[in-house]
Every structure is written in structure tokens, then in C-alpha cells.
Structure 1
């Protein structure tokens, strides 16, 4: 039987070359730059990039490409230090608000839940640590989306925004209008947009090495729409110690 390891599959080698090229790049690369570096025709390079983008190994922003959210944007050790540092503060926030508290980071066009501290109440909303959620349907996603550069945001909005519930924002115009509201009021809302009977309020955590946010989520019966802006303002006050602690975490 032939030793197939002596005959590497050319397509696999090319994909590895492409990913290695993006990994060592100091800035996003254009299609032409990538094709020149891996010595492939642009048409072939584009096909590889499209396939990798579909699996989130590559992130396309306008006319440039970089490693995508399938490769953790922050190394695991740093995320673990963030989680350990944040956890006691998140517990305090959970106890203060009496609802589930989530801590998340932006990863491409998703929110990654770094930590979740569940409410002690028998009926509660809670994701799990490591879960991903869409930017456009979540409160944390909306505040994190305000940190996206225009090319990244434009690329995201050029694709369909799937409806998670009947209340999910699904058009680029509506989402941009929502982001303007987020900036104006300083917090993001999920009004039954990611779960049919759940509401969530999120704030951006300022001055950190990467876009990060926290949110408080609850069943809609315990968080009325007219309470959400007040809850966001209170979260800013209560999160000051958390922000200071996270700013001191070494990368």
C-alpha cells in the first residue's frame, strides 16, 4: 500500500499556504496581494477564499481579507485571564440586578460569550460559556457593532441578516438606525429579537484591548421596555470596577 503522506494533496497545501499568509500578515490583504504571495491565479485564490469565508476561517472586509472568527481573535490564555478577572465582578452584578449577566467579545460578526453568570431565579435567560450569537439580533452584538470600521460593517450588511425571531432587525437600513440609537443612549437593547420571550440590555466596556461588552438578560415579564434605558445607565455605574480590573489584565 502506498504511503499517501508522501503525496500531499495540492489543494490542501494551497489552503495552508493561504492561511499562513494571512496569519503572518500585519494588515488585511487584497485578493491580488494574496494571489501574488501564494503564486496562484486570482480566480483560483478567490475560490479558496470564498470557501474559507463560508466556514469563517477568513473574514472579508470590503476588498481585503484576514483570518476569520473561527480562529480566536484573542489567544486562549488571554481570554482565560479575562474570564477569571471578570468572574467575581460578574457575580456581584448578577446579585445586584438579580438577573443573568453575560460577558462577551466581538469575533467577526458574532458575539462570543466569554462568561455567563446565571440568575438564581427559577425562570431565567442564559447562554453558555463559549456560545456564539449574531451581532444583529443581540444587545451585546449591537454595542460591539458600534466599534466596527465602516468596511467591516458594510460587508456584514451586504449579506442577509437572518430573522432569529419575528422581532429581529433584518435590513441594513434598520440596523444602521438602531446603531445610531445605541450610540445616542449609550446602551444596546434586545427586545425579544434573539429569543421570543427575552429582553436584554448591554453596554460597551471602554478602554480595553479589544471590543468587549456585558449584558443583563431577563424574561420579558421581568424587564419591561420602558425600564431598559434606566437599566443601561445603572449598568455603566455598576461596571466601573469591572472595567478597571479588565484594563489591568496583561496581554
Structure 2
């Protein structure tokens, strides 16, 4: 029987890290970029990159030499969207949220010290959020990130969100104590907020989605601050609460 905590296979781990790094960069990455990010020699990475390119999991720009995601990764992603029951459920709930409140809905999960956005359903409004699934942002700067952090004790939160804090705008929370206060409110049943902390003039309201004693997902609605009057805020919170209840019931 294989050991329950077998060490990671080095080459496989590097393949996965390459895919993760390149997926996060819309302009792609060069061999030098990847070597620096992974602290790996070119002689180790180049054969992996060549094989991945030959198999069309990556594509290489002939002019710049930078690597981008290839056609096979798109097909794998599409298969996940079409066949994974949890993704389809999350996506359908997000669509219902947008239909009900008219603003962009996103779902994300925790990836180390970051929130990684799994999916986004766009608002029909002419002014809307400009982001893409796969993007990562520091947990403490986003409403979904705070919703996810609410599952953890403050001591563990402080291990993830290390000093000095990354501040994306002048509104990003400045101290661990301020973050603790907001997380306590979320733990008590309140909504998590991002009030211009990630992007100036943009507000996000989010809730954690529980599955047993875990919080695998956060779901949030993002809107330009100028559209968020009291009526819209109340509507968003009502719709999010109903969506979370549906998700938690179906995911149980």
C-alpha cells in the first residue's frame, strides 16, 4: 500500500507549477521568468516546457519566446466546466444572483495567502468589473478573501497575512487588528466587505459558503460604488444569503 503522505513527484510538481504560473500571466512567461519564479535551472525546465509545447498544453510565441496556455489546457478547462457537478452548481447559483441583482457575481477559493477566482458571471450593466477567472488577490484585500479567512482562527490568519501588508489602494486595511474586527463580524453572521480595498471605486459584498465545518468557497457580488445605494445593497445581501443557503443545502 502506498504511504498516505508520499513525497510529491518532482517533475509532476514542476509541470503543475508551470501551468499555475503561466495561467496567472496574460502576457505569458519566458523561460527566464519561470526559472526565477521556481528557483530552478534552465536545463531542468526547458525539456519540460518543450514536451508541454509539443503536446499543445503550452504555446510559445515565436517572436518573444514567451510561453502561454495551449489549446489542450483550454479543452481540459472546458471539460471541467461541463462535467464537474460542483462547478456547474456554483456557476448556476452565480447566474441566478446576477439575474436577481444585476451586478457581477464571482466565486473564489483560498490558495495559500491568496483568493483565486474560479468563476465570474458578468453584470449586464455597461460599467462592470474587469477581471478574469484564475486571477489571485491577497486574501485580506477582498470580500471573498475575508469570507474565506473567517474559517480560520486569528493566529492562523496572521500566519497567512504576513507583515508588511500588501496594500492595493489607500483603503486596504492597514493593520491585523482591523482585519480581526471584520473577521469577527463575518464569523458572527455578517457580510464581508471590500470597500475600494482592491480597486478604487469598487465595492464587493461576500459570504462564506460552508460545507460541514469547512469553508471551501466564497461567493460575492461586485459593483461600482456609485451604483450601491441602500436599496441595491439590501437587495444584494438578500440575494447572496438565499444563494448561499441553496449552495450549502445542495453541497451538504
Hey, what does 1:140 align to over in structure 2?
144
Q: Structure 2 stretches of 5 or more lacking a match? A: 10-36, 39-76
Distance 1:82 1:98 in 2: 23
Contact 1:101/1:118 (8 A) holds in 2: yes
Hey, what does 1:124 align to over in structure 2?
128
Distance 1:232 1:124 in 2: 19
How far off is 1:84 after superposition?
Answer: 2.0
Hey, what does 2:241 align to over in structure 1?
236
Contact 1:126/1:217 (8 A) holds in 2: no
Note if 1:92 corresponds to 2:96: yes
CA deviation vs aligned residue, 1:109-143 (integer Å, no higher than 9, x gap): 11111110010111011421111111111000111
How far off is 1:224 after superposition?
Answer: 3.8
SS in 2 for 1:152: helix
Distance 2:123 2:140 in 1: 24
* Stretch moving more, 200-209 or 234-243: 234-243
Q: Structure 1 stretches of 5 or more lacking a match? A: 1-18, 25-53, 56-75
Runs of 4+ deviating beyond 3 Å: 76-81, 224-231
CA deviation vs aligned residue, 1:149-202 (integer Å, no higher than 9, x gap): 444312124422111011001211211122122223421001111110100100
Distance 2:162 2:99 in 1: 41
Hey, what does 1:197 align to over in structure 2?
201
Contact 2:151/2:215 (8 A) holds in 1: no
Aligned-pair RMSD on alpha carbons?
A: 2.9
User: Is the alpha carbon distance of 1:179 and 1:104 closer, same or farther for their aligned partners in structure 2, counting shifts above 3 Å?
Assistant: same
Contact 2:148/2:215 (8 A) holds in 1: no
Distance 2:88 2:114 in 1: 22
Hey, what does 2:71 align to over in structure 1?
none
Contact 1:189/1:228 (8 A) holds in 2: no
Contact 1:186/1:232 (8 A) holds in 2: no
Hey, what does 1:220 align to over in structure 2?
225
Contact 2:139/2:146 (8 A) holds in 1: yes
SS in 2 for 1:203: strand
